[in-house]
Structure 1
Amino acid sequence: MEIATEARYPKSEMVGMGAIVVEEGVSFRVWAPNAKKVFVMGDFNEWKKNTVPLVREDNGYWSVEVPEAKAGQQYKYVLKTKAGELIRNDPYARELTNSVGNSIIHDPTFEWGEDHFQCPHRNEMVIYELHVGTFNVKEEGKPGDFYSVIERLNYFKSLGINAIELMPVAEFPGGYSWGYNPAHPFAVESEYGGPRGLKELVKAAHAKGIAVILDVVYNHFGPTDMDLWQFDGWQENGLGGVYFYNDWRAKTPWGDTRPDYGRPEVRQYIRDNALMWLDEYHIDGLRMDMVPYIRNVNADGNPANDLKEGYSLIQWINSEIQAHFPGRFTVAEDLHSLDCITAPVEHGGLAYSSQWDGEFVHPIREAIITAHDEDRDINKVAKSIMHRYNHDAFERVIYTESHDEVANGKARVVQEIAGREDVNTWYAKKRSTLGVALMMTSPGIPMLFQGQAILEDKWFEDTDPIDWSRFSEFKGIVKLYRDLIHLRLNKQGVTRGLTGQHAAMLVIDNDRKLIAFHRWKDGGAGDNTVVVMNFSHQAIEDYAVPFPEEGLWKIRFNSDWEGYDSDFDNYFSHDTQATGHRENEALIARVAIGPYSTIVYSKE
């Protein structure tokens, strides 16, 4: 019986892993080097375990072509091993019924239309990080999904956001999770709408001029609901088997599930996963989670703990992306402030497009959360503004809130400032928006976290949806965010300098808590931009600031305007004239600025 069956089902001639729909049926290929025999079962053979064997190929691969199989059917592999009979989901499955369910033969066909979308250039990118499950919940007791995100795309459009960053969407256990516990890395979370839902979101976002960046997790897998664990029965030291390290290198803060970056088949698995998102889903960029744990066992910088094979794997992936998907964006979560993270491979770097910048978020959060003005260090603020990697202002992503910064014992900026349940206080609104103004005017790629513009309070939880009623309550604050983003993107044609590489400090006054800096791209009218910020609760009047060019400088933004919030002081500030000074010929302009406020000037 088995001989006849094997003759009936030949090995696959199709290149590629997993279940691939072909004209003659479905090609199945799986890597199980320690299995004695492998079968596939599913809807196509009434789930009979031992009737559809796979043919052994080289290097531990097995394949078969099954004419009766078709897209939409469910399936699993049956592995005969020294550890006994194992029933496993496909490591390359694009779709599952759920994290403990069955693999689904996925048909990748999708009508993309004329999708020639180009990711915004780094100097013109404004990112909005969101969690699909909590961003726009439509039904109590169920997480949000890709379709509910689509409903809010006009919100991003009106705000000026041109890139959304999705926290991980690979299939995870249950329906509620941050997403940083991928059980099935190639499958899209079923609760969120699966593969089709993600494609619909990307297509709709592109139609509105919005890029989609996806968070991916390669520093560990799982650790639960994970068929990769001891996949083909082999393991050492009770650890994870062929997909994982089986010694001290397996240990991570999230479980002993670090992939074996040195094993060629695992390297290929991770590389294939990264490129899949860009190819099959038209994703515009990848943000890689906790890169320090890919390049070092303990992320401690100790050379004895370096994972050179992890480092080279990242270099390979980023090189592949640059070669096959030029213009796509890659960003590292690596807060160790190293030039090598974004340096090119030929210079020994990892070649990310940009990196999350700990030299910005931590000092700036401290500056705006600190209660007493005298404890605020303006020198640290100035250093944060001027920091860059490899002399490139846009090799860093700057932010005051992210999923990490507003959870795990930390709260939203407005909550940290308010220090009580109600965040609708003058101090919380003034200092939180001061931080956002600094983020939108400093060199770098600015990033918001979901709900930030509507002063979402407390902290991030995967079961606590965004309260969209706050949009009406804080519509003036939303307008403030919108105006800052439009300035950042030079929507009015008078602040092009905010898209430029160049910055210079004009004033660092730690006594008065005032800072002023010049931003420019090429220089000249509509380009040269001056930002003045008051980090004190006292208004400052008639302050002399050296300006870069003579003439009339017009106010383009004043965060103290009462139109943003009725509690704001509407302190009288004015356009200013920069003129020469007799003693040193510096161009001096007199400015007046309200408490905890930002003024942006430029010349027409």
Structure 2
Amino acid sequence: MSDETAIKGMGSILHTQGVAFRVWAPHAQHVSVIGSFNEWDGKKHPMLSEENGYWYANVAEAHTGDEYLFLLSTQNGEFKRIDPYAREVTSSVGNAIVHDTRFDWDGDDFSIAAWNELVIYELHVGTFNDQENVKHKGEFSSVSERLGHLQKLGINAIQIMPIGEFAGERSWGYNPAQIFSVDRDYGGPLAFKQFIKRAHKAGIAVILDVVYNHLGPSDLDLWQFDGWSENGRGGIYFYNDDRSITPWGDTRPDYGRGEVRQYLLDNAMMWFEEYHVDGIRFDCTQFIRMVNDSDKRDIPEGWSLLQWINSQIAQKFPGCITIAEDLQNNRWITKEVGAGGAGFASQWDAMFVHPIRQAVVTPQDEQRSLGAIRDAILYRYNDDAFDRVIYSESHDEVANGHARVPQEINPNDPKGWYAQKRSTLAAAMVFTSPGIPMIFQGQEFLEGGWFRDTVPVDWDQCAEFHGIVRLYRDLIGLRSNREGFTRGLCGQFTQVYHMNNEHKVIAYHRWDKGGAGDDVVIVANFSHEEQENYVIGFPSEGYWKLRFNSDWGGYNDDFGNFLSTDILTDQGECDGLPCYASVSIGSYSVVIFSQ
């Protein structure tokens, strides 16, 4: 096969005349592809040198399932390397596998919900369903077994922690060794595609967490890939000066090198094109756009890379979502690329999670700050209330020195009354504040302790705390406007109109266009003291129906079932609103009204 008829693409490319191979190794003197198809003999299939350091060969004898490596001869010796674009590997230190990317997507016509209607459930494949009685525990198929639970809960999007091939059998996933390969311990690439198709059939989108701020650092075959490096650093795929330094190792990709930029873009696009994911979440974008947190030195080419990837996704996969974890209060992350922003649809919001967690884990009522709670409810990065993902638990918030919220509230009794009441109070803030709500695996049944990649979710608690599961389901139903009378929770507008620091009561109004079926009033009591016949303002007169009371005894026998009822407002200015009514609310509780 001549250069003129060379197959386009990188890595191993299946076609009718065998398998084509292409690799970028600009400092190699000779490159061969070796594998099970040629007895690992470097003399049988030498690769032709192409422009700009690329090497190419077509192997008629190669087939799907064959294992292979690239053999590079350089001034610094001979190296066997895993294909950087390998769609499948035997392990993080093993061989690449010729993989057929085709899959039967027939019938998969799923579209992700509008961003203001998303409810995200973050999970870790290895621990989500790792019970002893599960056949393929800790794999994608085991997650599929729980899709019914998530569907009944009202979840319409799953965010999966990174799944790129990593070192060892267990990991959070933020140490990617091969970013194009799906980890075999989770079931590999075919299992991931099957899982996505099943999730889509259940009406659930799949958002994947990706790691581009660093690679590895262990089992990293990209390190000094073709033998070249400077200053003892990583070679062609990495910065070779102090820009390489990250909190996870000296392995920051070189965002200014065209081939590396293409490598990362190709990876992002692969998840949409070959796996039909509905969105991706970028880990720690601040370490893509700047060197570190201390000197704030920008990496302009990192910023332009984010803009490029987001622009390509928006152009080719409209409606799909990209989410940044930046946590630096950076409004430009979610501004449009054309306005100079990075173009993300949304970002994880540190301005919400920290004050809300603090409000419920603080032991003394008088120390709770309603001002901080108000600011967390109202905060927005730009003009869109849904350019932030809000949560009280995530994989970061329940590890790295912190535990799950119930554990933080009461370490001695994380399943007791205080832990239940105040953790569900935080959850109610998540589902009634403007933003895209997210919960972390097991949060809906009081999963305790702290997150570790070796400890499975305790699904026995799902039955034990079935009332708390119902509480989450009811909140999600209201947030999703499932019954058609809480559209305001999907709307852009919020007014915090009542704050009583003495009694620790806060009330706010959510609406989209306003009016019956749209206006929603939320009253939250951050005190142990019950409030009876408590007067607050309402935006309009008439009958307001109680849609939710977190103190209801049906959620837990130990709850007070404090008397809360539907109300009829009276005309008269109160809290700056034209009407008022008396409401009753239990300890550490939330009540929600709509017309």
- TM-score bin (small chain): over 0.9
Give the match for residue 19 of structure 2.
26
Partner amino acid for 1:313? L
**C-alpha contact (below 8 Å) 1:505/1:518 kept by paired residues:** yes
Q: Does 2:259 correspond to 1:265?
A: yes
Distance in 2, matches of 1:490 and 1:511, equals: 33
Structure 1 alignment gaps of length 5 or more: 1-7
Q: Does 2:439 correspond to 1:448?
A: yes
Partner amino acid for 2:16? E
Across the aligned residues of Structure 1 and Structure 2, the Cα RMSD in angstroms comes to 1.4
Give the match for residue 87 of structure 1.
80
Distance in 1, matches of 2:400 and 2:28, equals: 42
Question: What fraction of aligned residue pairs are identical, expressed as a percent?
Answer: 56
Partner amino acid for 1:125? L
Give the match for residue 209 of structure 1.
203
Give the match for residue 596 of structure 1.
588
Q: Does 2:554 correspond to 1:558?
A: no
User: Pick from 396, 419, 432: which aligns with 1:404?
Assistant: 396
Give the match for residue 532 of structure 1.
523
Aligned 1:557-576 pairs, distance under 5 A: 557-576=548-567
Deviation at 1:338, TM superposition (A): 1.5
Distance in 1, matches of 2:510 and 2:228, equals: 59
**C-alpha contact (below 8 Å) 1:454/1:477 kept by paired residues:** yes
Aligned 1:227-266 pairs, distance under 5 A: 227-266=221-260
Give the match for residue 3 of structure 1.
none
Distance in 1, matches of 2:226 and 2:570, equals: 77
Structure 2 alignment gaps of length 5 or more: none
**C-alpha contact (below 8 Å) 1:26/1:66 kept by paired residues:** yes
User: Pick from 163, 185, 188: which aligns with 1:191?
Assistant: 185
Distance in 2, matches of 1:410 and 1:140, equals: 30
SS at match of 2:33: strand
Give the match for residue 5 of structure 1.
none
User: Pick from 314, 326, 332: which aligns with 1:322?
Assistant: 314
Q: Does 2:160 correspond to 1:166?
A: yes
Aligned 1:360-439 pairs, distance under 5 A: 360-420=352-412, 422-439=413-430
Partner amino acid for 2:242? W
Distance in 2, matches of 1:104 and 1:12, equals: 24
SS at match of 2:37: helix
Deviations 1:297-332 (A, max 9, x none): 003472xx1100000000000000011111110000
In 2 relative to 1, CA 471–282 (structure 1 residues): closer, same or farther, beyond 3 Å?
A: same
Deviations 1:133-166 (A, max 9, x none): 0000144898601000011000110000000000
Distance in 1, matches of 2:550 and 2:348, equals: 26
**C-alpha contact (below 8 Å) 2:131/2:456 kept by paired residues:** no
In 2 relative to 1, CA 585–375 (structure 1 residues): closer, same or farther, beyond 3 Å?
A: closer
SS at match of 1:566: coil
Partner amino acid for 1:343? K
Distance in 1, matches of 2:411 and 2:186, equals: 34
Partner amino acid for 1:536? S
**C-alpha contact (below 8 Å) 1:9/1:65 kept by paired residues:** no
**C-alpha contact (below 8 Å) 1:506/1:545 kept by paired residues:** no
Give the match for residue 60 of structure 1.
53
Give the match for residue 485 of structure 2.
494
Give the match for residue 274 of structure 1.
268
Deviation at 1:49, TM superposition (A): 2.2
Give the match for residue 130 of structure 2.
137
Larger CA deviation: 398-407 vs 109-118? 109-118
Distance in 2, matches of 1:39 and 1:375, equals: 68
**C-alpha contact (below 8 Å) 1:368/1:432 kept by paired residues:** yes
Distance in 1, matches of 2:463 and 2:199, equals: 24
Q: Does 2:35 correspond to 1:42?
A: yes
Deviation at 1:461, TM superposition (A): 0.1
Aligned 1:83-162 pairs, distance under 5 A: 83-139=76-132, 144-162=138-156
**C-alpha contact (below 8 Å) 1:96/1:102 kept by paired residues:** yes
Distance in 2, matches of 1:200 and 1:562, equals: 41
Deviation at 1:535, TM superposition (A): 0.2
Deviation at 1:173, TM superposition (A): 0.6
Deviation at 1:565, TM superposition (A): 0.5
Distance in 2, matches of 1:12 and 1:32, equals: 21
Distance in 2, matches of 1:347 and 1:546, equals: 40
Give the match for residue 311 of structure 1.
303
Give the match for residue 287 of structure 1.
281
TM-score w.r.t. the length of structure 2 is: 0.98
TM-score w.r.t. the length of structure 1 is: 0.96
**C-alpha contact (below 8 Å) 1:11/1:63 kept by paired residues:** no
Deviation at 1:261, TM superposition (A): 0.3
Deviations 1:6-43 (A, max 9, x none): xx897861111000100000010000000000000101
Deviations 1:54-90 (A, max 9, x none): 1000000000111000111100000001110000000
SS at match of 1:44: coil
Q: How many residues were matched structurally?
A: 593
Aligned 1:499-510 pairs, distance under 5 A: 499-510=490-501
**C-alpha contact (below 8 Å) 2:121/2:439 kept by paired residues:** yes
Give the match for residue 44 of structure 2.
51
Deviations 1:258-285 (A, max 9, x none): 0000000000000000000011000000
Q: Does 2:329 correspond to 1:346?
A: no
Deviation at 1:505, TM superposition (A): 1.1
**C-alpha contact (below 8 Å) 2:211/2:282 kept by paired residues:** yes
Deviations 1:92-146 (A, max 9, x none): 0000011111100000111111211111111100000000000001448986010
Partner amino acid for 1:190? R
Give the match for residue 179 of structure 1.
173
Deviations 1:197-216 (A, max 9, x none): 10011000000110000000
Q: Does 2:572 correspond to 1:581?
A: yes
Distance in 2, matches of 1:12 and 1:144, equals: 44
In 2 relative to 1, CA 68–147 (structure 1 residues): closer, same or farther, beyond 3 Å?
A: same
**C-alpha contact (below 8 Å) 2:467/2:554 kept by paired residues:** yes
Deviation at 1:336, TM superposition (A): 1.0
Deviation at 1:586, TM superposition (A): 3.0
